[in-house]
Each structure stands twice: as structure tokens, then as C-alpha cells.
Amino acid sequence: MAEKQYGFDTRKVRAGYNSAEHNYAISPPIYQTTAYDFKSVEYAKQLFAFETVGNLYTRVGNPTVGVLEARMAELDGAAAAIALGSGMAAISYTLLNLAEGGGRILVSPYLYGGSADSFKKLYPKFGIQIDYAKHIDDPAKLEGEIAPDTKAIFIESISNPSAVLLDIRAIADVAHRNGIPLVVDNTVATPYLLRPIEHGADIVVYSATKGLNGHGNIIAGLILESGKFDWANGRYPHFAEKYYTLRDHSTDEHRSYLEAFPDAPFTTRIRFNYLNYFGAALGPFDAYLALVGLETLSERLSKQVENARIIAEWLRRRTDYVEWVRYPELSDSPYRSLAEQYFPNGAGGILAFGFRGDEVQREYFLDAVELINYHVNIGDARTLIVDSPNNTHGELEPYEKERADVPPNLIRISAGLEDPNDLIADLDQAFLASERSKLIAI
């Protein structure tokens, strides 16, 4: 499909799939199988020697999962993609693959709470140090924060929960001048709103649980690589390690991933090292649900963006209950110019506001919502609300929340597909309920 340069909406429905290869099934079949028969001994030898493309074992590859990987690679303009069992697996495999044997990752302070907590608890035990950038908003100063053993810069394209935007191209330029890749978590934006590789990103990760699927019924993750980064530049000696399993069968010479898979060494190394032996495999049925969700991606995101705009503007007028509103497209947002530069289709479906009132009133407000769901997912077809400091970022200590700019009164909304008038009415009656809590307290 890439040869014909089809538009985004055509590719989100059809890319990576040829019905003639699947008994002419119009929808990608669910290959619910553990393993695959080899056509012959010679064919098995070719598979294990990586001399032909085929299926070995569903832990490392499955035809349904393969369609999802191929489709996402086309949508993001990537050289290759690998699907995994969760978004956290995508992040962990990426960072381990980058800093295997030790090193540092320079990260944005504006991150999902689970990412930040894992950076503190897990990676130092594997010899990987996490440095929080002090100047992520000022790429000219950011360069001074890169150490000799820094292996990558890691950011979110639209941060969770405050919808912070960064100058991706400028940060990518800083990374590349120092011989390191830029990793972008593009979960909130999805490739419909932003294709980070076009702006210099080298690795893109997703929690496909969120907007990519959009229906709150799977857990999944993805890693994509641009195919443009030089992994042989000396900072990543583990990519040059030679393995018996990658040997050239004509000469029996051991090869590295750079030699065996020059077009996609990063994701292939993850597939046959980390996925193969750590095993966070995505099941074929979940891959199928992700593919079904992708078919309506642009329609869903367009509606969610529009609802987020309407809700943000309405909240900004409710100064009796709302202290501040964070949404990049608002006229007074510090990220308005970046939204115009990077997000022509809209700056995402999540927004945050500061509740004007005490903790008791805030709890009354959240308990009073009726139509909007109170839980921690984002990107769902349903509108969701949550008090992020107490749950999605509840793992963080007060100083960590301050660093991430997550104040105690922050409430996050993930706009869904409902009628915006109904959503506003629900918020309005919940605000009134919080007001009545004052009378109850008296």
C-alpha cells in the first residue's frame, strides 16, 4: 500500500493486510494458535536461520499481531513495529534495549505516574539511571544536561494529565547532535494527531490500550523505529554483539543484529531477545480488537478533540468552581503555538482543570458525576474523569508531583464521543452537588 501513497484513512482500514494471503477473509482472522506446522525440514531451517519470513511460535510472532504491527508501521511512517502485551512493556523493553549494561536516560518531568514510579523503583536496580530534565521546555539549555553515558531522551508528545506540549523537532536536534535517539510516547496523540518520526523521533512507543483501540477492552503496547538512527555510533556496543543464533548459515559466521537486520535492528532485537525471553506477548484476539479500533481512529479522535475544546472553554467560564484550565488550544495556553505547529488535527482529547474548593467538596463533585465514568483509562469512547494526584499519579511523592506540575486540586477529563451538551450538564450538576456539601458540613 505504501507504493500507492494512500491517505491516512485508507491505511488505517487496509494497511498491512492482503486478503489473498488469508483465504480472502475481508477482516483479519484471529490466529488463535500456539505454534505453526513447518512445511518441510528445509523450510524450518530457513525460518530459524532468518532466511525466510514465516511463523515459528506465537510468543515471538503471530499473523494477526503481524497485521497490527504492519498497519501501525505504515500509519506512523516507521521502518518496523513490534506489538507487546502492554504499554508498560513497550516502555520497559525500549529502555532496557537502549541502556542494556548500564547508562542514563534523560526524561521529561511531564510523564504518566506509572512511568515515573517505575523509573524510580525499577531501572536503577538494573544499572539504568533516570535523569529528570530541568530544561525540557528550553532545548538550547537541554543539551547541557546530556552526560557521556546518556543513552536517550524520553518524552511524551502530549503529557498525561496536564496536556503539556514540547518542541519535538528541537529536542530531536539536540539528541542527534549528541549521538542519541529521541523516544516519544505518543499514546495520547496517536498517529492521527501526530507522527513523531516526521519530526525527528527515532523510537515511538504506545499504550495501545488507550486511543489507538479506543474502547476500553484490551491491554496492549507498541514500539516503532524510524530505521534512520545509527546504532553503530559507539554508544550502543550491545547492538554490535555477535550471536550464534544470528549466524550466516553459508559461512557459519556469527552476526550482530546490525548485520542481520540492518533496516530494523532495534525492534528486531527486542523481538528475539526481550519478547522472546521476557515474554510480554500480545495475544491474537487483543490484536484483532486493536485492529477493529484502528478502523475508526480518525473519526473518534476528531470527535474527542472537538468535545475537549467545548468542555475546556465551558470550564474556563465556570470560575465559581474552576481555578484554572489546561488545554493546549486555549487562547491563553502557553502551548498554543506548539499546538498550531505540531497538531493541525487537534491537540488531543484530554484536559485538566483545578477544582476550586476543598478536598471534601472535590470528593462530592467526583461522586456526583452520573454520565461521565470515574476511572483511570484515557482515550475511551466514553468520557472519563479522575483526580490524578490521588490515583494515576498517586504513587508519586509530593516533590515528584510538584516536578511533574500535578497540583493537588487537578482533575483530568478524557473526552469521549457523547453529546457535549450532556457532558456539560453532568459536570454542571456535579458542581452544584459539591456546593451542597458545604451545607451538609454546616
Cα distance between residue 413 and residue 308, in whole Å: 8
C-alpha cell, 439: 451545607
2: pLDDT confidence band, cut at 50, 70 and 90? low
**439 confidence band (pLDDT: 50, 70, 90):** low
The 3-class SS string of 407-434 reads CCCEEEEECCCCCHHHHHHHHHHHHHHH
* Dist CA 77 CA 200 (whole Å): 12
Q: Which of 295, 87, 113 is nearest to 206 (CA)?
A: 87
Taking alpha carbons only, the member of 310, 307, 312, 315 closest to residue 328 is 312
Give the confidence band of 437 by pLDDT, cuts at 50, 70, 90: confident
Average pLDDT over residues 120-149: 96
**Residue 181, C-beta contacts closer than 8 angstroms, at least 6 positions apart:** 98, 152, 153, 175, 202, 203, 229
Mean predicted confidence (pLDDT) in 147-175? 98
* Position 348 pLDDT exceeds 90: yes
User: For residue 49, what pLDDT is reported?
Assistant: 86
- How many Cβ atoms from other residues are within 10 Å of residue 223's Cβ? 30
For the chain, what percent of residues have pLDDT higher than 70?
A: 98
For the residues 227-243, what does the mean pLDDT come to?
A: 97
pLDDT at 442 over 80: no
- Mean pLDDT throughout 370-384? 97
| pLDDT level of residue 420 (50, 70, 90 thresholds) | very high
Check residue 435 and give its pLDDT.
Answer: 87
Amino acid at 314: W
Whether the Cβ atoms of residue 378 and residue 350 lie closer than 8 Å to each other: yes
- The total number of residues written for the chain in this structure: 442
The residues spanned by each domain of the chain are 2-293, 298-441
* Amino acid residing at 65: V
Q: Does the pLDDT of residue 239 top 70, yes or no?
A: yes
User: Which residues lie below 8 Å from residue 130, measured CB to CB, with a gap of 6+?
Assistant: 104, 105, 107, 119, 120, 123, 124
Q: Output the DSSP codes for 381-414.
A: SS-EEE-GGGTTTTTS-HHHHHHTT--TTEEEEE
pLDDT of residue 3: 59
What confidence tens digit (pLDDT) does each residue in 65-114 have? 999 999 999 999 999 999 999 999 999 999 999 999 999 999 999 999 99
Residue 77 and residue 194 in contact, taking contact as beta carbons nearer than 8 Å: no
Find the mean pLDDT for residues 271-292: 97
Residues 6+ apart with CB under 8 A from 242: 254, 255, 256, 259
214: helix, coil or strand?
Answer: coil
Q: What is the mean pLDDT of the chain?
A: 96
167 Cα distance to chain centroid: 17
- Long-range pairs, 402-407, Cβ under 8 A, ≥24: 403/109, 403/132, 404/109, 404/110, 404/111, 404/113, 404/116, 405/109, 405/110, 405/162, 405/164, 406/113, 406/161, 406/162, 407/354
Q: Under a CB-based contact definition with an 8 Å cutoff, are residues 22 and 15 in contact? A: no
pLDDT tens digits for 12-36? 999 999 999 999 999 999 999 999 9
Confidence of residue 5 (pLDDT cuts 50, 70, 90): confident
pLDDT for the residue numbered 440: 64
pLDDT at 252 over 90: no
Query: What pLDDT is recorded for position 249?
Result: 81
Average pLDDT over residues 266-283: 97
Amino acid sitting at position 400? E
- CATH number for the domain whose boundaries are 2-293: 3.40.640.10
Q: Give the DSSP letter string of 30-52.
A: ----SB---S-HHHHHHHHTTSS
Tell me the pTM: 0.96
Domains 2-293 and 298-441 share a fold: no
Quote the pLDDT of residue 436: 81
Question: Is 118 a residue whose pLDDT tops 90?
Answer: yes
At the second CATH level, the architecture of 298-441 is: Alpha-Beta Complex (3.90)
The β-bridge partners of 132 are 107
pLDDT band of residue 144 (cuts 50, 70, 90) is: very high
DSSP states of 297-335: HHHHHHHHHHHHHHHHHHHHH-TTTEEEEE-TTSTT-TT
Q: How would residue 4 be classed by pLDDT, with cut points 50, 70 and 90?
A: confident
